[in-house]
A and B are shown apart, each in its own frame.
Chain A
Amino acid sequence: ILNVEQSPQSLHVQEGDSTNFTCSFPSSNFYALHWYRWETAKSPEALFVMTLNGDEKKKGRISATLNTKEGYSYLYIKGSQPEDSATYLCAAPNTDKLIFGTGTRLQVFP
């Protein structure tokens, strides 16, 4: 059974701080890694789909890196803003089913 783990479980930062969190997944039979942002009372929103080892993707102040050999991905947020407050989910496919981690809940205080 594929296990996707995220750390930390929650994070509180001040506005302007940069932060990062981790998604770990089995490195064998790697196919893709998804990142989603889920704001309270909204739908989860896709951030990135990453497939290549060493891949780095960027969307505004958010970026992600991927290491498929060791089975981890980092999500970075530069200069956090209150509107970045959300739960960040990663997910990896297992026989075409997406297996989600439990998420990192980020709160950015003004």
Chain B
Amino acid sequence: KAGVTQTPRYLIKTRGQQVTLSCSPISGHRSVSWYQQTPGQGLQFLFEYFSETQRNKGNFPGRFSGRQFSNSRSEMNVSTLELGDSALYLCASSRNRGSAQETQYFGPGTRLLVL
């Protein structure tokens, strides 16, 4: 069974630009969560999508948004990029919604550098 895939793996953007990251979950998984990791910080929850609806949102500004398609693939978008948005962005999928007792399967991440 193929794992979680994320594209692109690396990205360089400049301040003010916008970026779209993509995540394809494991086949049969309907929940996709997004996380941000910056140096010295743990994984910070961004949002979770299930059945094409955002179910949970972390404490991030409105510049961070996402969506999920009918095939469970998800995209996240960051508009008006700031230097502080440079980070590793991970997505994780699980079979059902909610992260409480479901094992999350992570992708390899997209490393974003904002110059």
Residues of A within 8 A of B (CB): 4, 31-32, 34, 36, 42-46, 49, 51, 89, 91, 93, 95-103
* Interchain Cβ contacts within 8 Å, total number: 63
Count of B interface residues, CB-CB < 8 Å: 29
Q: Is B48 an interface residue (CB 8 A)?
A: yes
SS of B interface (majority): loop
Q: Is the CB of A102 within 8 A of B42?
A: yes
Instruction: State which of B55, B98, B103, B107 has its C-beta within 8 Å of the C-beta of A43.
Output: B107
Q: Is the CB–CB distance between B4 and A31 below 8 Å?
A: no
Show 13 residue pairs from A and B whose CB-CB distance is below 8 angstroms, ordered by the A residue: A31-B101, A32-B100, A34-B103, A44-B43, A44-B106, A51-B101, A91-B43, A93-B99, A96-B98, A96-B100, A98-B33, A99-B45, A100-B43
Within the complex, which residue of B42, B55, B105 is in contact with A101, where a contact is CB–CB below 8 Å? Answer: B42
A46: contacting residue among B44, B55, B97, B105, CB under 8 A: B105
| Given A31-B101, A43-B3, A49-B103, residue A100 in contact with residue B42 (CB < 8 A) | yes
Q: How far is the CA of A42 from the CA of B3 in the complex (A)?
A: 12
Q: Contact: A97 with B108, CB < 8 Å?
A: no
B109 contacts A by Cβ under 8 Å: yes
Q: Which residues of A sit under 8 angstroms from B40, Cβ to Cβ?
A: 102
Q: CB of B16 within 8 A of chain A?
A: no
| Known A31-B101, A32-B100, A44-B106: A97·B48 in contact at CB below 8 Å | yes
